[in-house]
Structure 1
Amino acid sequence: MSPAERVTVARSLLALALGTGVCYCVYRALYAGRKKHVSGGRILDRVTGMPVNSRRPEAQSENSPKSAGDLESHHLEKLLQILSSSSIPSTQEQILVTLCNSAAFSVNHDIIRNFDGIHIIGGLLSHSNPKIKAGALNALNNLSMNLTNQEQIQAFLNDILKDIKESTLNSEVQLAGLRLVVNMSITNNYHKKMEDSIPSLLGLLKEGNYTTKIHTLKVLVNLSANPLMTTHLLASKAPASLTFLFDSSINMDVLIRALTFAANLSENMNREQQYNKQCDYKEDSLYAIMFKDPALLQGNIAPLLLLPDTEVKEQANRCIKRLKN
């Protein structure tokens, strides 16, 4: 291809990608493709990011900027190449935002995985910059909506759970990690990998803010829906008192999820395979704190039956019914 043809192609691609988060980097990368080593900072002069988890945009006029969903496979490949080779934090952060937005569109899930994108993005979970770490978690979160992608993401679960435990309370890194683990816990496939992190998750129910509590409870509800996780949950060390979760004054979304968590465990405790293991629970375990005295838990939950919310009543009934058995 002649230099003039190369410039024409690059200009066409630039027009196509304008506003999607690849912009000038595509032109520079294509025009300078004959060079073996190109600085990520020189290539990525500008990345336009959209909100994480953005929905597919409405129809746009011919002159409107295109969305991240319009990126073609070679654009994504080039971004991943730059991400894997660049050591410039601002470049890495901007590319992660673009890849995260692109991964909000299911059509890109397989494309990014096939370009080894999950391993490239996952490699940044060890980065010292919280913004880059959160950006990697957010991108993996969108990619985790694909079950095949989850098979690769699970290799990073230990790192993700460690970040949740060790990150600043209620920080974006912690919340991004929790959102990702919510998706990874929807199926039973990776629950066993989460066993050791249950105590730290229970701790977040007491220390975390509203958003942290909601995401933590989503994970715990998913785990409690798996009967094979019941013993691990009940045996886990828990805060001294979790009954505050069943107060009628607490946020309704938190209350519903807390009741669902308790009801799932109550139902599973009635399974025959659980009976012989209750005596092994320590005094600081979730079982001892919440279920050792069924009358105490019933006393906290029974008043909730008077609330008008039908879902609260349903979950409270489930819990009380099983506690009486």
Structure 2
Amino acid sequence: MGEDGVVARLCNVKALVGILAGAGASYGIYRLVRRVQSERRPGGSRRQEGGHGAGGPPLKPGTLLAKVSGIPLLRGSTSRAAGETESGSLGCEIRACRCRCRLNRLDAPLSPPGAVEPHHVEQLLSLLHNCAPERLHILVTLANAAAFSRNQDLIRELGGLPVIASFLSDPLPEVRTQALNTLNNLSMNIRNQEQLKVYVPQMLDLIEMSPVNSEVQLASLRLLTNLSVTNTHQHLLRNSITLFLSLLVVSNETIQIQVLKVLVNLSANPEMTEDIVQAQAPASLVLLLDGRTNPQVLLRLLTFVGNLRTWEGSGRRPVPVGLPSIRGRDSVHRVLLAENSELHHRLPVLMSHPDAEVKEQVARLLI
């Protein structure tokens, strides 16, 4: 065996032994280590693993986590939001910690025997940096660990955010997706958001350059949803409204819902209103205001229009310095808000929609 091979093997062994050290190491990390070891041997095979459940502390009202919609503990690079419901639970794959995710909340406190200790997280980040072939499995483990607030702080303090974000440019789409999923869980922390905001341009590029309806697009939109929950970083999306609107008319329902979550967040901020109403919009956008549109898509689109109308009619529209108030024929204002918009012909028809929330939003717009 050559000198380079011996050094690499010693490095891997040292990292793996460090993870296993201590009686408190979780079973999930043990399984990850076993996977790494077995796949280093000739004939080693890969397989998906499940996990067992525990949880984290209940959410406190008013916290960022409680405010964000759609932050599940993700199953990994191959899972889709199709398995997600807005009021139900979402199963999750466990490696680093024994936990069970429920949409927008974590359950009972994690028991000490299954806890992930700080040195485990440190070893995982080291392993991620040095063991490229296992990066996907390690990212899944870190995503699960990042569901707990103490680990969100710890990963940041250990310099893990840029390490994880470096995989946004990985050649494999499944690795890019899982890096986004991990950052998504980490974005439930306000201090983490301050560091993650620098990657917004890269997320927007991933949305624009990835195939429509891809996992990468969905994971990028989830992360942008979290970053746009508060007004702090919304200005970073100021020039991407046309991108979101264009994606809205060509994508499937899962992507449409996630795009509209971002747009609803932005439209709730009066400082973003003028940018939105002047953005170029596809004329076909108004065609989504139809009884055959998925009710969750329709409800969010109506909420988006309602938010814009609220600020349009308030007389408090701020016009950014240097931005002329010009609303062209292809603008959001022309397509959705102007007096001659087709929207006004479609709203009365929607009053017969079977969904009560949809009818309520339509009634608000008809007043």
Instruction: Sort the TM-score into its range (normalised by shorter chain).
Output: 0.7 to 0.9
The letter of the residue matching 2:329 is E
The letter of the residue matching 1:212 is I
Q: How does 1:196-275 map to 2 (within 5 A)?
A: 196-274=239-317
CA apart distance, 1:104 = 1.8
| Greater RCO, 1 or 2 (C-alpha within 8 Å, sep 6+) | 2
Is there any run of 5+ residues in structure 1 with no aligned partner, and where? 1-6, 29-39
CA distance in 1, matches of 2:288, 2:145: 37
CA apart distance, 1:295 = 6.1
- Report what 2:348 is aligned to: 302
CA distance in 1, matches of 2:209, 2:298: 26
Q: Is the 8 A contact 1:11 1:27 kept in 2?
A: no
Alignment deviations for residues 4-23 of structure 1 (CA, whole Å, 9 cap, x no partner): xxx99986648833334664
Q: Is the 8 A contact 2:20 2:30 kept in 1?
A: no
Change over 3 Å in CA distance of 1:79–1:9 after alignment to 2:
closer
CA distance in 2, matches of 1:177, 1:316: 30
CA distance in 2, matches of 1:9, 1:149: 26
- Report what 1:160 is aligned to: 203
CA distance in 1, matches of 2:238, 2:350: 31
- Report what 1:293 is aligned to: 339
The letter of the residue matching 2:263 is L
CA apart distance, 1:207 = 0.3
CA distance in 1, matches of 2:30, 2:361: 45
Change over 3 Å in CA distance of 1:115–1:267 after alignment to 2:
same
TM-score (normalizing by structure 1): 0.80
CA apart distance, 1:74 = 0.7
State the 4+ residue runs in structure 1 displaced beyond 6 angstroms: 7-11, 25-28, 275-278
Q: What SS is found at the alignment partner of 1:261?
A: helix
The letter of the residue matching 1:17 is S
Larger Rg: 1
CA distance in 1, matches of 2:337, 2:17: 71
Structure 2 residue 130 is the aligned partner of structure 1 residue 85: yes
The letter of the residue matching 1:84 is H
Q: Is the 8 A contact 2:128 2:135 kept in 1?
A: yes
Q: How does 1:308-319 map to 2 (within 5 A)?
A: 308-319=354-365
Q: What SS is found at the alignment partner of 2:284?
A: coil
CA distance in 2, matches of 1:227, 1:15: 49
CA distance in 1, matches of 2:225, 2:19: 41
- Report what 1:32 is aligned to: none
CA distance in 1, matches of 2:296, 2:134: 38
Change over 3 Å in CA distance of 1:23–1:206 after alignment to 2:
closer
Is there any run of 5+ residues in structure 2 with no aligned partner, and where? 1-15, 52-74, 77-89, 93-97, 101-106
TM-score (normalizing by structure 2): 0.71
CA apart distance, 1:246 = 1.2
Q: Is the 8 A contact 2:24 2:116 kept in 1?
A: no
Root mean square deviation of aligned Cα:
3.2
Structure 2 residue 232 is the aligned partner of structure 1 residue 189: yes
Change over 3 Å in CA distance of 1:224–1:15 after alignment to 2:
closer
